[in-house]
Amino acid sequence: MTQRVDLATVMDRLAIDEVVSGYAVAVDDGDWAAYRALFTPDGRADYSSAGGVEGPARQVADWLAETMRMFPVRQHLIVNRLIRLEDLGGSPGDSAEVRADFVNPMRLTGTGTGAGTDDVGGAPNFFAAGRYTFALARTREGWRFSRVTVHEKWRHLSS
């Protein structure tokens, strides 16, 4: 590889990592416009392994907006990111796949006196964990998800 190809590959990896981090922030903050903007126009999301829906990302965002209301506090931790860039004979292509593990602690809506404005005091905690598969495509706007698939491995409810 040339230095130019090496630099392009590093830049792609950083840009892809930013999209994955943007996903976690958008879901945790309930920023559904930002969530939608992370996808290609025909992008899809599949949360069926976690009891959710599968379909066009724009529709899934509506489902998430409604579902996540029961979890006023969310914090995605997306780790062990394995990024595979399309290889076009030594040059990076326009598609990529990321496999990444996640742990997602959330707090269910409570009735006590919680910190801040979320009123979650005394509410139980819900934990989910597993692996994401992110398929990405290079677009004019940068890297975007063409597909997000959740592979939930376990969940736990604690008080």
Tell me: the pLDDT tens digits for 48-89? 999 999 999 999 999 999 999 999 999 999 999 999 999 888
Convert the pLDDT of each residue in 110-137 to its tens digit. 744 444 444 556 678 999 999 999 999 9
Beta-carbon count within 10 A of 147 CB: 19
Spatial neighbors of 109 by CB under 8 A, at least 6 apart, are: 69, 70, 71, 72, 119, 120, 123
Counting Cα atoms < 13 Å in the Cβ hemisphere of 71 gives 21
